[in-house]
A and B are shown apart, each in its own frame.
Chain A
Amino acid sequence: MKGKIVKLLTLLMVASLFLAACGGGATEAPAPAEPAEPAAPAEPAETEASEEPAQPAMEEQTVVIGFTSSLTGSQEVSSKRQVNGFNLWMEQVNEAGGVTLSDGTVVKFEAHTYDDESNAERVQELYTRLITEDNADFLISPYSSGLTSAASIVAEQNGKVMITTGAADDDTYKTGNTSLFQLYTPASLYMSSTVDMLKELDPEAKIALVHESDKFSTSVAEGIKPYLEANNFEIVLEEGYASDTADFGPIVNKISGSGATVLLGGGHYNDGTALARAIYDRNIGLKFVYLLVAPADTKFPELGDAALGVATSSQWELAATHNEAEASNLGVEWFGPSGEEFATAYEAAYGDPPTYHVAGGYAAGLVLQKAIIDADSVDPEAVKAALNAMDIMTFYGGTKFDTSEEAHGLQIAHKMVVAQWQKNEAGEFERVIIAPADVATADPLYAPSAP
């Protein structure tokens, strides 16, 4: 009898937990899929075709865009921001009346998405479902190179275009694929602007390359080594650490013992913040600290003074956003809203200033929209041809893809900037651009050379 009562109580507790979870989901779940309507929406993205003289619409066609995102798991923070950016684009373009093709067809967009849990096990299953059950016409990649590699096989198998954002590793595009189109600067080029800056600041700098032992971070570190050596920098320490490392004491000891003056490395959000804090706590006299990904997030200053001076590469920064004049100087076509319009709309919808992950998600939609306009069709082969021929600039930067068989889809026009957390006159943290010099908004915070 007593046992039955215990089981009954457990059942009731579990049922209430379940209902609470359902209740929470009901209020939270729609947020990523359907962003709040912007209070002050930016000017809708320019749709060349929609600006054509009004014609009677022959029919409305809904294009389904499918993707998985990491609502849970290790890539959760960056992946959610990316989805927010994409949803903002979709909301804006649909509100602006969609894309009108020359035959009068009005194309509107709809997203279908699943949680991949940052886990490779179900990625192919989910992308197959997106294509066969949800009838996705175009695909956006998951947020990571490994997951994208798995998903790209399904895209290739079904002849679907996949715009990748958040999949920076070069190897993912060197598989002989014909369907991938990368928006990010490839991992091997992530740190090149930083090294160029160091050449000017301190050619004698001793480098510690300390990075997360995962596909992306190791690719970045491996990619920059030849460039560092070619510029006569001495690499005094090269060390990988496990992705779930929380105690960076031993790593900081090694950096300290190596005589390094500059740290280049990091990995993702969780490990990057822990490493920044450990370096600050030990105060090992580094002149410059550069970490991947984590400092690009708006939450990074929550570390307090440990965030001061930490730099990162960024795919996009509002302070160095690309503009129409730049496109005109380079002789490439400009497309879409300005960076300021995008940022205002995003902040109105989500309450945060946009990060480069948000911009990447938005740009994925924008590039697809432009390809549909150029192709004047939603036929996958025509859109693929338009993407292969694309050479444009948006607020996010240049977009042009490698069309060779060896590295199809690799991004070749997008450039990164180096951003650093500094304090403004009011003592508040702000992320400033310190390189390249032509877009820099502040001087780098770099410790003076030792006497």
Chain B
Amino acid sequence: MKNWRNHLGLLVPLLVVAGMVLWPVATGNLSNRENSFTILKAIALASSLNILLGYTGYVSFGHIVFYGFGGYVGLYFVNEQGWSIWAGILVGGISSGLLAFLLGKAILRLRGAYFALATIGINEAMKAFVNNFDLFGGPIGMTLNFSVYRAYGGAAEALRLSFYIMAGLTFAALILSHLVRTSKFGLGLQAIRENEDAAEVMGVVAPDAKTWAYVLSAIIPGMVGVLFFFKNGNVEPHVAFPLHASIELLVMVMLGGQGTVLGPIIGAFAYQGMRGFLVTSPIFKDIQLSVSGVVLLLIVLFIPAGAIGWLRQRIPSLRRVLA
């Protein structure tokens, strides 16, 4: 019984996400499924970013580069080489991890604002590279032939399968986030976040730890990219590397509470749920960007610690659950 309580920090996030997966299944509503897909995608990406931002304290403004790069590589193999979506997702994740490893060795020596600026540069440089890389279709990008979907039973089945794979990737992101947080490695990352010099004195090999955190935070976004472009039927450079999406991810993590497993879920759910509601609301749909801006401003002003931080501060008994 006690053992079960010790795992509440993982069980609660898993149950919340399971509810989001079951909601469209139970209602049998395609629109709910699409809505849920967008939210699950945001949770998977935000939870991955949280490994770097929340645990290690490094702000990456260009984290979407892994989503775009992995997505491009994976979709290339699916569309041009006839690989299955499973193999495409795998290769997308590996290539993003590899890119993060190489980049990490170079730019994780930088700290604070310098690191943040470097990540923006990398995203833009990658977009420019792909724009001029003929193998990936250059500026035209790649358009998926519908015949690819036939292997999965047609467009309808392929979209349904994409939802379940997205759910799987979201669960994987949460478990990874929890494992990092509760491991010795994660403790090292949190020590780096609090004081990198002191952490090194205490025996944490900061450059290695940061690089591995960067790699772990890049793998799931690469996989999500492949899946999203597969489902969307095409990819173009400006769709694959949107800088504003990186900033939205930062907002989601900070909104929910960085450095916790549940925080990015709450943030992604609140942010994407709100956008989804506003964009389809008869009252707000024409002014939805203004309204979401105002709501975010209010949250940042009044709940700077994020939802989890605010709840933990006010209700001490929830501290075990809201890990």
- The complex places the Cα of A122 from the Cα of B147 at a distance, in Å, of 23
- The complex places the Cα of A119 from the Cα of B231 at a distance, in Å, of 15
Contacts A132-B29, A149-B143; A175 near B233 (Cβ below 8 A): yes
- The complex places the Cα of A158 from the Cα of B30 at a distance, in Å, of 10
Residues of A301-323 contacting chain B, CB below 8 A: none
| B276 interface contact, C-beta 8 A | yes
* One of A133, A157, A214 near B236 (C-beta < 8 A): A214
Q: Number of A interface residues, CB 8 Å? A: 56
Complex contact B139–A214 (CB within 8 A):
yes
Q: Is the interface of B mostly helix, strand, loop or mixed?
A: helix
- The complex places the Cα of A115 from the Cα of B298 at a distance, in Å, of 24
Complex contact A213–B131 (CB within 8 A):
yes
Specify which chain B residues have a CB less than 8 angstroms from the CB of A358 in the assembled complex: none
Contacts A10-B301, A153-B233; A172 near B143 (Cβ below 8 A): yes
Complex contact B286–A152 (CB within 8 A):
no
Question: In this complex, what residue of B is CB-closest to A151?
Answer: B233
| B113 interface contact, C-beta 8 A | no
* One of B35, B146, B284 near A176 (C-beta < 8 A): B146
Specify which chain B residues have a CB less than 8 angstroms from the CB of A115 in the assembled complex: 279, 285-286, 288
Complex contact A129–B232 (CB within 8 A):
no
Contacts A18-B291, A25-B287, A146-B234; A215 near B144 (Cβ below 8 A): no
Residues of A1-36 contacting chain B, CB below 8 A: 7, 10-11, 14, 17-18, 21-22, 24-25, 28-29
Q: Which of A10, A21, A126, A243 has the most CB of B within 10 A?
A: A21
* One of A7, A14, A114 near B279 (C-beta < 8 A): A114
Specify which chain A residues have a CB less than 8 angstroms from the CB of B37 in the assembled complex: 125
- The complex places the Cα of A213 from the Cα of B134 at a distance, in Å, of 13
Q: Is the interface of A mostly helix, strand, loop or mixed?
A: helix
- The complex places the Cα of A17 from the Cα of B284 at a distance, in Å, of 14
Specify which chain B residues have a CB less than 8 angstroms from the CB of A11 in the assembled complex: 298, 301
Q: Number of B interface residues, CB 8 Å? A: 52
| B84 interface contact, C-beta 8 A | no
Would you mind naming 21 contact pairs between A and B with Cβ atoms under 8 Å apart? A18-B294, A24-B287, A25-B286, A28-B286, A114-B280, A125-B34, A125-B35, A125-B37, A128-B31, A128-B34, A129-B34, A132-B30, A133-B31, A149-B234, A153-B146, A171-B140, A175-B144, A175-B146, A176-B146, A240-B138, A242-B128
- Nearest 7 CB-CB pairings of A with B: A29-B286, A176-B146, A25-B287, A125-B34, A21-B290, A213-B139, A149-B234
- Chain B contact residues, CB within 8 Å of chain A: 29-31, 33-35, 37-38, 128, 131-132, 138-141, 143-147, 149, 154-156, 159, 231-234, 236-239, 242, 245, 275-276, 279-280, 284-291, 294, 297-298, 301-302
- Chain A contact residues, CB within 8 Å of chain B: 7, 10-11, 14, 17-18, 21-22, 24-25, 28-29, 71-72, 114-115, 117, 119-126, 128-129, 131-133, 146, 149-150, 152-154, 156-158, 169, 171-172, 174-177, 213-215, 217-219, 222, 240, 242-243
